[in-house]
C-alpha cells in the first residue's frame, strides 16, 4: 500500500465552501488530514485555505 496526498486550494474561505470541499473529497474516498490557513496582514479573515487529504492505494506490483 502507498499513501497518496491531495491538496485542495480554497480561495473563498467560508464554512460552506470548506464543507463542500471536505464532503466531496471524503465521498471520493479521501481522508481529511487537516486545514492550513493563509492569513492576510491587518485582518482576522484568512485569504485562502489549503485542505489536506490522504488515502491508501495498493501498489501496482501487489498481487
The reported pLDDT for the residue numbered 57 is 87
Q: What tens-digit pLDDT sequence spans the chain (63 residues)?
A: 899 999 999 999 999 999 999 999 999 999 999 999 999 888 888 999 999 999 998 888 755
Determine how β-strand 2-10 pairs with β-strand 31-39. unpaired
**Global pTM exceeds 0.95:** no
Amino acid at each position: 500500500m502507498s499513501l497518496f496526498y491531495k491538496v485542495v486550494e480554497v480561495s473563498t474561505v467560508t464554512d460552506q465552501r470548506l464543507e463542500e470541499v471536505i464532503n466531496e473529497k471524503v465521498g471520493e474516498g479521501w481522508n481529511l488530514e487537516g486545514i492550513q490557513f493563509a492569513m492576510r496582514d491587518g485582518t482576522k479573515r484568512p485569504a485562502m485555505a489549503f485542505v489536506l487529504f490522504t488515502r491508501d492505494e495498493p501498489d501496482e506490483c501487489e498481487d
